[in-house]
Amino acid sequence: MIRDVSLIIPSQNAEKKLFTLLSSIPNWDAIPNEIIIVDSSNNRLITPNSFNIFVEKNKINLLIIHGKDIYPGHARNIGINHSNNNLLAFLDTSTIPRKTWLSSGLDIFSTQESEGVWGKTYYEADKFLAKILKASTYGEKAIKTFPGSILKKNVFNKCGLFIETTRAGEDGDWISRVTLHRLNISTPYEFLTYGELKELNVLKIIKKWFRNYLHSSRLPYSRAHRSFYYYGISFFAVMVAFNWNAVLASWDTKNALYVPNITKISALILFISYTFVRGIFIPSKKGVSLKFILPVNFIFISFFSGVLDFTKVLAFTFSRLIKKL
């Protein structure tokens, strides 16, 4: 069934993934009557002939807009400005929807007084490293995402468009504005799947984390400072412990304020606390089973979480230095 919806897809050097996404559209229960691809690839995008035939047969308005060095937020803004419908749907090349994704989202508009429907994404992992990364970050529950959202066009008149000058975090910034304006955006019935975790190695993950937080830390909504505060407070606690006996007890072991091995004890408490929170508590809160976490994997999860948190701190600090300079 063809519906009056504009589907907006940013793409950059992801031809294979884009074509996989496009090839799934003919099987959807509801099909948009307008598809806008905003592409900033090195090579000019040419869609498959089979997809072009499908588009022509169903009289779908296919618009491919080419640009250079366009970030995702900028690409979405271009798509929004070129759309001809009052309902806009958004996907990324890395997120694959079920065939009922669009139809179920549109059903919500007919049953609820809503200005939109959020996207929800489930992150897939099959290999051990991917599972550890997933446990350290996204968890086992599908989480709210901008990709997969279906929104009334006038929502952007209320909240504004996306920030165009950042590589990452623009979607989180926009979602925070929706919350600020208290718009009624519904929870979806269906979710998308994200499979790129399977393709990542440790170095790629760290580079991606650093790049994303370097960009997103400049945004008002950024939470990168939380990791910065944790490491700052931890360093302060260790320094206090290191100087405790010297300043308050003058190294007098008979003094009531003297605490044997206080530095080692403080560092151990911080280490155990971090390992428990990042290796067990947070993953289990995000749906990761204790069967996977225990008895050993919590060590890998907490270690990898520490690497990613430290990467965020470096990105946050580097961003602030660039701003100062």
d(CA 279, CA 294): 10
User: Which residues have CB under 8 Å from 266's CB, separation 6+?
Assistant: 237, 238, 240, 241
Contact 70, 78 (CB under 8 A): yes
The one-letter amino acid code at 146 reads F
Q: H/E element holding 266?
A: helix 262-276
Contact 139, 64 (CB under 8 A): no
Residue among 144, 21, 10, 6 nearest 86 (CA): 6
- Retrieve residue 98's tokens: 């079920």
Estimate the crossing angle of helix 128-136 against helix 297-324, to 10 degrees. Answer: 60
Structural domains of the chain, ranges and CATH numbers in brackets: 2-200 (3.90.550.10), 225-324 (no CATH)
CA distances from 254 to 61, 303, 317 (A): 84, 39, 43
Residue by residue, DSSP assigns 200-220 as --HHHHHHHHHHHHHHHTTST
Residue 57 is predicted with a pLDDT of 92
Contact 79, 36 (CB under 8 A): yes
The one-letter amino acid code at 300 reads F
d(CA 88, CA 66): 20
pTM score, whole prediction: 0.84
Contact 90, 149 (CB under 8 A): yes
Residue 275 is predicted with a pLDDT of 93
Residue numbers of the chain with a pLDDT score lower than 70: 217-218, 220-242, 244-245, 247-249, 251-252, 323-325
pLDDT (tens digit per residue) in 66-90: 988 889 999 999 999 999 999 999 9
d(CA 305, CA 288): 14
d(CA 302, CA 28): 40
- Retrieve residue 141's tokens: 């529950």
Residue 278 is predicted with a pLDDT of 93
